[in-house]
Copies of this chain bind each other. A is one copy, B any other.
């Protein structure tokens, strides 16, 4: 496999990077919802931990029925089996990144995995 791949992401409702970048340890998507909109379904996962990064705007997520406010700069880990649904605020769009990884898959990291 090539030692690196690069893509430039332009605006769109949803962009998926797994195939575009040849990822093998994660799927990453960039998602945007206009003001007042929501993802039209609730979902959970079988194996994957999800990490959400709010890039712009504000909104909220319902996690197992609990309303969690979201604004730019917020990062969220959600356990696989938790039921989640994302909403933009009534007066603001929201743009966020979703990172899917297999729960408990990370072994060493940073200083225990790096070679300097």
Contacts and interface: CB of A to CB of B under 8 A. Distances in A.
B3 A79 contact: yes
A35 interface: no
B115 A2 contact: no
A82 B6 CA distance: 14
A112 to B, nearest CB: 9
A55 B75 CA distance: 14
Contact of A4 (B68, B99, B110): B68
Contact of A25 (B29, B41, B97, B106): B106
Given A9-B75, A53-B97, A101-B25, A47 B107 contact: yes
Contacts of A45: 113-115
Contacts of A82: 3-4
22 contacts: A2-B79, A3-B81, A10-B73, A18-B106, A22-B77, A23-B77, A41-B116, A42-B116, A43-B114, A43-B115, A43-B116, A45-B113, A45-B114, A45-B115, A46-B113, A47-B108, A48-B106, A100-B109, A101-B101, A102-B105, A102-B106, A105-B106
